[in-house]
Amino acid sequence: MRIHILGICGTFMGGIALIARALGHEVTGSDSNIYPPMSTLLDKQGINVKNGYRVEHLQPVPDIVIVGNTMSRGNDVVEYMLNTKMPFTSGPQWLSEHVLKQHHVLAVSGTHGKTTTTSMLAWILEYAGLSPGFLIGGVAENFNTSARTGQGDYFVVEADEYDTAFFDKRSKFIHYCPDTLVINNLEFDHADIFPDLESIKMQFRYLLRIVPGNGRVIYHEGNDNITDLLSGGFWSESQTFSAVAGDWCVGKHTPDYSGFSVVHDKIDAGTVKWSLIGEHNAENALAAIAAAAHVGVSAQVSIAALEKFRNVKRRLERLGEVNGIIVYDDFAHHPTAIHTTLVALRNKVGKQRIHIVLEPRSNTMKAGVHSRTLGPALDPADFCYIFQSAEVKWNIADSISANGNRRRVFTSTDDIITALMQNCEPGDHIVIMSNGGFESIHQRLLQRLKGV
């Protein structure tokens, strides 16, 4: 079958492309924003990615067009597809019909930590010899890819609440019909799609309604929004987790959580010693351990797997060290995720100085929805450099209480690099936070630090 994918370079749609190619289909795609790591993965698989959305990209006519949720009416290629009555579907629907129906589906949902937890869970099942298929919203370092078909009975999927397509406004995860469902946390996000938190909860309620009775819902203990969500009822067995309470929780731990004991039903199941840091990652691990337990993987095997786990790209990923200055790349773009990542790094590095370079790039951030909570989220950092692009219409300086050299707002990434060069010294840590390419500031900064 010949498949053409519109929006192929998004992490989800790129994963669909990799799976379709592995199933033997001829796959091509179009996108207007082509950059690594997804473009690199697609190229390695021989998938032809065309730049832009042009009608001629649909020639010769594919057997089906898979439409990404960034596409909308008015786009020339979408109008041509509809006018010529080409067969089309969404990515989640295609995945459901061609892959998920043949598997026990383990889905990881929530506002934060989905990609990391999904990667942990896929790796645990792999380590246990179950050869799972998976689709992850990032490149999993243990597999060096974001998706594969697998060879076993299990499929692990990152369950995003974002809408499916311009013709299907249900959340993506409605299509997945999970047998094991993780709900990591629940906050307001995606203001371009949802008017309020209650509308997000409604999508989760629909999801809970299709988890089978012999399925399992694994959720964060003590999260008020999840408690409210579940008060509406669900029909599956359940287990809870959190760092401090629940069926699965943390016992003794190091200050930065690079080591922590796993407690299940008040019994110590073993100690994780790994390369990750942060209470939030310990909780992600608990969720993955609990989900793996539902398909028969013991906590001890999961703990052994996590000690060999390597995090997803762009999750506090260490890019390099030059003259004692360490540069990281991080995907965080919501104030809660920004704060938890910075707290984790602070607990790791102690009094060493932390610089955060932030691009408010998500639609929610650009709309100013989190303007009141962004400032406090930055508190663990010593210096903040915030990029105010032309698309950000609110005054960032007022919201973050910009003051002198500590918190500054820039309209040029060149100026950010210059400021960093003037302010950084050996022993400092620079965390670049964006959910996009950020004008390749990461490599440009490293080159300047090297004197290139």
Q: Give first-to-last CA distance, the chain, whole Å.
A: 48
pLDDT at 447 over 90: yes
pLDDT at 364: 80
What type of residue sits at position 161? Answer: E
CB 294 within 8 A of CB 218: yes
Whether the Cβ atoms of residue 193 and residue 128 lie closer than 8 Å to each other: no
How do residues 205-263 score in pLDDT, each as one tens digit? 999 999 999 999 999 999 999 999 999 889 999 999 999 999 999 999 999 999 999 99
- Is the pLDDT at 401 greater than 90? The verdict is no
Q: How far apart are CA 222 and CA 291, in angstroms?
A: 18
136 in the same domain as 57: no
pLDDT digits (tens, 9 = 90+) for 56-92: 999 999 999 999 999 999 999 999 999 999 999 999 9
Buried b (16+ CB within 10 A) or exposed e, 63-92: ebbbbbbbbeeebebbebbeeeeeebbbbb
- Is residue 142 located within the same domain as residue 252? yes
Angle (nearest 5°) at CA 247 between 245 and 252:
55
Q: Is the pLDDT of residue 36 over 80?
A: no
**Is 12 inside any structural domain?**
yes
DSSP 403: B
One DSSP character per residue, 380-399 reads T-SEEEEE--TT--S-HHHH
Same domain, 224 and 149: yes
CB 179 within 8 A of CB 156: no
Q: Which of 184, 27, 185 is nearest to 91 (CA)?
A: 27
* Rounded-to-10 torsion of CA 378, 379, 385, 390: 40
The reply to whether 37 and 133 lie within a common domain is: no
Output the average pLDDT for the chain: 93
Q: Report the C-alpha gap between 11 and 32 in whole angstroms.
A: 14
Residue pLDDT, tens place only, 339-357: 989 999 999 999 999 999 9
Asked whether the predicted pLDDT for residue 363 surpasses 80, the reply is no
Please check whether residue 128 lies inside any domain of the structure: yes
Full domain range(s) for residue 9: 2-90
19, 95 contact by CB (below 8 A): yes
Of 306, 333, 359, the last residue of a domain is 306
Give a yes or no: residue 40 inside a domain: yes
pLDDT score of 403 more than 90: no
Q: Are 271 and 335 found together in one domain?
A: no
CATH number for the domain that contains residue 380: 3.90.190.20
CA 334 – CA 358 distance, rounded (Å): 11
- 170 and 268 belong to one structural domain: yes
* CATH code for position 156: 3.40.1190.10
CATH number of the domain to which 55 belongs:
3.40.50.720
Cα(29)–Cα(11) distance, rounded to whole angstroms? 13
DSSP string, 91-124: HHHHHHHHTGGGSEEEEEESSSSHHHHHHHHHHH
Reported confidence tier of residue 396, pLDDT bands at 50, 70, 90: confident
Residues 122 and 189 in one domain: yes
Residues 68 and 109 in one domain: no
pLDDT in tens, 87-114: 999 999 999 999 999 999 999 999 988 9
Count of CB atoms situated within 10 Å of the CB of 244: 10
pTM: 0.88
**Per-residue pLDDT, 246:** 95
Residue 410 has pLDDT above 80, yes or no: yes
Domain check: are 201 and 283 in the same one? yes
pLDDT tens digits for range 124-181: 999 999 999 999 988 888 998 999 999 999 999 999 999 999 999 999 999 999 999 9
Q: Is residue 312 one of the residues assigned to a domain?
A: no
Among the candidates 271, 286, 306, a domain finishes at: 306
Contacts of residue 41, Cβ cutoff 8 Å, sequence gap at least 6? 14, 18, 139, 145, 146
- What pLDDT sits at residue 381? 94
* 257 shares its domain with 113: yes
Specify the pLDDT at position 273.
97
- Give a yes or no: residue 370 inside a domain: yes
Residue 402 has pLDDT above 80, yes or no: no
Whether residue 78 is found in the same domain as residue 108: no
Give residue 452's pLDDT.
58
Residues above pLDDT 90, as percent of the chain = 77
Which of 154-158, 220-224, 281-285, 368-372 shows the lowest per-residue confidence on average (mean pLDDT)? 368-372
Same structural domain for residues 205 and 301? yes
User: What total number of domains does the chain contain?
Assistant: 3
CA distances from 211 to 236, 237, 240, 371, 390 (A): 7, 10, 16, 36, 43
Main-chain dihedrals φ then ψ at residue 385, nearest 5 degrees: -125, 105
Last residue of a domain, one of 247, 280, 306: 306
